[in-house]
Amino acid sequence: MSYGRNIALTDDFDFDFSPDSKSLSIIANDDNLVQAIKIILNTFQGENKIVSNFGTRLQDLIGHKSSDNFIKYTVKNALLHDDRIASVDKIYVGRNKDRTVTLKITITTTDAETLELTGGLGWTKLA
């Protein structure tokens, strides 16, 4: 399925440079959608002045008591702004001893493909 192409970013959200081709790396398809989800969930809502509802308010929840349902609502609401995501089917919230949250998210794309992702502030696609 095609979910577009974009410049690949590193885990630190810097441009990924390919030393072999001496140019920026390109990301496409599922990997591009996964990267977009990472960007959405790691962008503070309101940070992007052009699209003010882009991102989440998850950063406001760090260190505060928040219900799992509120975290799920926040994540689902943010992801459904991406036109490539038809539905957010499952969100599992895991609470860690270091007071961080790990999420496991299952989405269905507009091409009826199911993707599972897991992570905290860094996200990876499950095989």
Task: Write out pLDDT tens, residues 77-116.
Answer: 999 999 999 999 999 998 877 767 789 999 999 999 999 9
Backbone angles phi, psi at 72, to 5 degrees: -60, -45
Q: Largest alpha-carbon pair distance within the chain? A: 47
What tens digit of pLDDT does each residue of 21-37 get?
A: 889 988 888 888 998 89
Distances (CA, A) of 44 to 2, 13, 20, 61, 89: 27, 14, 34, 11, 23
Q: How far, in Å, CA of 59 to CA of 42, rounded?
A: 8
Indicate the pTM of the whole model: 0.78
Task: Spell out the domain ranges in the chain.
Answer: 34-125
Tokens of 63: 């260190």
Question: Which of 1.25.40.10, 3.30.590.10, 3.10.450.40, 3.30.470.20 is the CATH number of 34-125?
Answer: 3.10.450.40
Choice between 122 and 109, residue whose per-residue pLDDT is larger: 109
Question: Which residues touch 4 (CB under 8 Å, ≥6 apart)?
Answer: 28, 29, 32, 33, 84
